[in-house]
Amino acid sequence: MLKTDGAAFLPHDIIALFNLMREKDDLPELIDLGVRGFFYESDQADFILKGICALKNGELWVSRDVLMEYVARKPRQAPATKRQTAEQLTRREKEVLVLLVAGAGNDEIAARLFVSLHTVKTHICNILKKLGVQNRLQAALWAVKHLQ
């Protein structure tokens, strides 16, 4: 797996995400991966148009409300007591994580690794715990940053 970001793949393109849900908290990781625009389900057309113009001018675009929510929550988060490293994961957990990054669902992961669906779910649960993340997206973002 390549250890790079979206901007490296598409240096002249602008990466933006649309129809996001407000409760997602992956803003810093997504920015690190090269995403420059964030548009939510509740955004109005004029707001989206304004954001697209800002992106075209090289600006980062995220709604003020989302940014304020993120900043307000940030101080309350406990600092990580232990740095997550790839060495914490077993060989099989790394294989599952690579397939997860590729967009494979549990059924596909089970078929490709010749294991049961229950085993895949157990591996994913262990991966989330070891990495200190809450969902598959956060695990995938971690993998893109830390696995080679």
Which one, of 10, 1, 63, lies nearest residue 34 by Cα?
Answer: 10
Q: For residues 134 and 26, give the distance between their C-alpha atoms in angstroms, rounded to a whole number.
A: 10
Predicted TM-score (pTM) of the model is 0.48
| Residues in Cβ contact with 139 at an 8 Å cutoff, skipping those fewer than 6 apart | 97, 100, 124, 127, 128, 131, 133
Share of the chain above pLDDT 70, in %: 78
Indicate the residue type of 69.
Answer: E
Per-range mean pLDDT, top range of 7-16, 27-36, 115-124: 115-124
Question: What is the per-residue pLDDT across 77-132, written as a single tens digit (0 to 9) for each?
Answer: 444 545 567 788 999 999 999 998 888 899 999 999 999 999 999 999 999 999 98
Q: Are 101 and 142 in contact (CB under 8 A)?
A: no
Indicate the residue type of 109.
Answer: I
Give mean pLDDT, residues 138-144.
86
Report the first-to-last Cα separation within the chain, whole angstroms: 5
pLDDT of residue 138: 86
Share of the chain above pLDDT 90, in %: 24
Whole-angstrom CA distances from 137 to 24, 52, 81, 142, 143 are 10, 25, 22, 9, 10
Looking at the predicted structure, is the pLDDT value of residue 37 above 60?
A: yes
Domains of the chain: 6-76 (3.40.50.2300), 86-146 (1.10.10.10)
